[in-house]
Amino acid sequence: MTMSSDPLSGSTAVSGGRRRGSWFSDGSKRLLVISLLMMLLGSLFARWIHTDFGNTTVTEVTISAGDGHLMSAFLYMPEGVSAQSPAPAIAMWHGLNNSKEYMSNTALEMARRGYVVVSADMTGHGSSNGANQDIGCGGPATLTYLQGVAGVDTSRIGLIGMSQGGFCAATAAALSQPDGYSSIFYMESEPNPPGPPFVDAYMGLHNMAWNIGGFTELGLMIAVEKGDDAAMSPALLPLFGTDGPIVPDQVYGSISQGTARILYTPFEDHALSTDSVAAIGNAIEWMNTTLGAGTMGRGSQIWPLKFLGTTVALFGGFLFLFAMGGLLLRTRKYSSLVKPVPEYRGLTGGLWWVGAVVTTALGPLLYLWVWNHMFSTSWIKVNSLWPQSFTNIYMVWAVIVGVVAWALIALNHYTVTKRQYATLEHYGITEPGGGIDWSAVGRSLGFVFVALAPLYLLLAFIKGFWHVDFRMWVVNLQPMNTARWYAFIGYLVPFAIYFVAQGILFNGFLRWKKGKAPQWQEMLVNSIMLTFGALVWILILYVPLLSGGTQPFGADSAIGAGLGGIYYLPILVFWPLISCLYTFFFRKTGRIWVGAFMVTVYMVWTLAASGDFALWPIIG
């Protein structure tokens, strides 16, 4: 006897005897092959672009930064560069809560113009150890390392820092060696940390350029309400030696004397600068001008092709979750998890729409409130169990929303659905006759790790050998080092409070057309239901910015609204994904456990793998 499954319809058919048709005619197997090809070919294509079609060698190096700090970096070595034929060089650093992969677009464009490039993970980020902002974010150590690379012309070194990578790493590097570099490019950044513009200590920095997006969420970094006001920024005017306004794209001072200043104001936001033809073009132009080098101008940028490759790989990873999960449920080991879908006795009619509105609005309504409190005066300090500052913000938000969701589950059950003779069995929690099958719950958790293991191993191989990850702008997936695995374990239970409750709401109370709709339709409705509120929240923030206005949440909420908006953008991708995972696995297993655990493990993986460490955990 054999069992087959169509991954789109969700139906399962059992037939005796010999299967007809080819192996590839099986829907789940076909989807598995497609997802693997997307991950492998997308990543291979991205690597090809990342190395400038093989003309640049990209290697991962470790920088010993003192005090036990070890920093990970990508070293880009253009073809033909050697000790006998040296080239100018650039050190660069990413922004807060990012990694060196965010700067890979800028790095590859610089390398293909003849520059040796070191792009480093700041301390507490990526694969570097330590905590955020340790030892000048690792900036001085990165500059020292670059100066020692064979083939680097140490008389022509530029620094590029995005956001915190500018005001922390690049500035610290420049101050540590006043004559060890020639120019700096602040990408959505400034020399001094955000706050009062005390700029005296930075007046002597060499040949500075600023790239400030016209609708940046973080105008506060240069003490203005919006990016369009950068020309009158009190943090920039003294450095330009003028009462303003600063004329964009005009060089002030002397490049030869190291006093040059320039302000670029492209139409972009803060996070977009690392994936912006304009911002990367401005960096190219400034380095070419101040270092007297560069084999080509700002045009002919190829990084969008790399973006295409990593995006294909990312969505291949998404499809893999459904294909691998569907196939595993047909194996002898996990087929016992496949059970009939219980009869729907959830919300109907007008109450369904009320539930849908509450579901889509609850998270966004609480999001800014949590961000403002957690970012300024955190309710939970970083600790050895929860060591990542931004993941802690998400965690507190998820727990609060989760607690409210559990309360809504109880309220709906005792006031509405219980009167319709609904039981926990109808919500996919218990078995017929009552009681939770705890062995099935345990197998469901084990199933999730088995399903994700091949994806993780493939990603680790691609990252380790091809030096690209699965990425689409601010949405990414990366493997974890030991410290990140510790963080992953610590965050699992708090996030499960939310994601398990969400799974029950979707499958027990809010199934579209009483659970009789086709699977694809139910996936679509659930995706809209969960994501619509987040989209409205994003539009409320960004439409005024794009229209030349300021953030609508008030000056006292500028930090929370700005950074919160940036870190809410990935939700527009992840929420449709998890909505489909909930639906797919509930249709397959008739219980909420596999889908809820899959969503929890996957989302905690993404956060723990990419979050910055405000406290380096004690490991080993």
What is the SS3 assignment for 505-531?
Answer: HHHHHCCHHHHCCCHHHHHHHHHHHHH
Examine the domain organization and report whether 84 and 31 are in the same domain. Answer: no
Examine the domain organization and report whether 452 and 582 are in the same domain. Answer: yes
Of 220 and 212, more confident: 212
Residues in contact with 195: Cβ distance below 8 Å, sequence separation at least 6, in sequence order: none
* Tokens standing for residue 80: 């033909």
> What confidence tens digit (pLDDT) does each residue in 285-307 have?
999 999 987 678 999 999 999 99
Give the pLDDT of residue 244.
Answer: 81
Asked if the structure places residue 46 within a domain, the reply is no
Domain containing 97: what range? 53-301
Answer yes or no: is pLDDT of 7 > 90.
no
**The residue to which tokens 């794009």 are assigned:** 546
Q: Which residue among 301, 320, 352 closes a domain? A: 301
Examine the domain organization and report whether 91 and 194 are in the same domain. Answer: yes
Q: Which residue among 243, 271, 301 closes a domain? A: 301
* Tokens standing for residue 46: 């991205």
* Mean pLDDT on 108-121: 97
Answer yes or no: is pLDDT of 313 > 90.
yes
Asked if the structure places residue 441 within a domain, the reply is yes
The answer to whether 444 and 591 are in contact (CB under 8 A) is yes
Give the pLDDT of residue 559.
Answer: 63
Q: Residue 55 — very low, low, confident or very high, per pLDDT cuts 50/70/90?
A: very high
User: CA-CA distance, 401 to 422, in Å (whole number)?
Assistant: 24
Examine the domain organization and report whether 179 and 327 are in the same domain. Answer: no
Examine the domain organization and report whether 289 and 312 are in the same domain. Answer: no
The answer to whether 596 and 582 are in contact (CB under 8 A) is yes
Examine the domain organization and report whether 354 and 502 are in the same domain. Answer: yes
Give the pLDDT of residue 388.
Answer: 96
Examine the domain organization and report whether 276 and 147 are in the same domain. Answer: yes
* Mean pLDDT on 563-572: 91
According to DSSP, the β-strands at 475-477 and 116-120 are: unpaired
* Mean pLDDT on 433-449: 95
The answer to whether 30 and 21 are in contact (CB under 8 A) is no
User: CA-CA distance, 158 to 163, in Å (whole number)?
Assistant: 16
Answer yes or no: is pLDDT of 11 > 60.
no
Asked if the structure places residue 357 within a domain, the reply is yes
Residues in contact with 350: Cβ distance below 8 Å, sequence separation at least 6, in sequence order: none
Examine the domain organization and report whether 19 and 68 are in the same domain. Answer: no
pTM above 0.85, yes or no: yes
Of 152 and 563, more confident: 152
Asked if the structure places residue 617 within a domain, the reply is no
How large a percentage of the chain has pLDDT more than 90?
84
Beta bridge partners of 5: 12
Query: What is the CATH classification number for the domain harbouring 228?
Result: 3.40.50.1820
Examine the domain organization and report whether 260 and 392 are in the same domain. Answer: no
User: CA-CA distance, 175 to 39, in Å (whole number)?
Assistant: 42
Q: Residue 15 — very low, low, confident or very high, per pLDDT cuts 50/70/90?
A: very low
Asked if the structure places residue 272 within a domain, the reply is yes
Sheet holding 87-93, edge to edge: 56-66, 69-78, 116-120, 87-93, 152-162, 183-187, 208-211, 261-264
Asked if the structure places residue 99 within a domain, the reply is yes
Asked if the structure places residue 44 within a domain, the reply is no
Give the pLDDT of residue 558.
Answer: 54
What is the domain count for the chain?
2
Asked if the structure places residue 538 within a domain, the reply is yes
Q: Which residue among 235, 267, 301 closes a domain? A: 301
Of 593 and 618, more confident: 593
Q: Is 547 exposed, middle or buried (0-12, 13-18, 19+ CB in 10 A)?
A: exposed
Examine the domain organization and report whether 90 and 181 are in the same domain. Answer: yes
Examine the domain organization and report whether 133 and 171 are in the same domain. Answer: yes
Tell me: cis bond preceding 245? Omega within 30 of 0 counts. yes
Examine the domain organization and report whether 187 and 277 are in the same domain. Answer: yes
According to DSSP, the β-strands at 69-78 and 87-93 are: unpaired
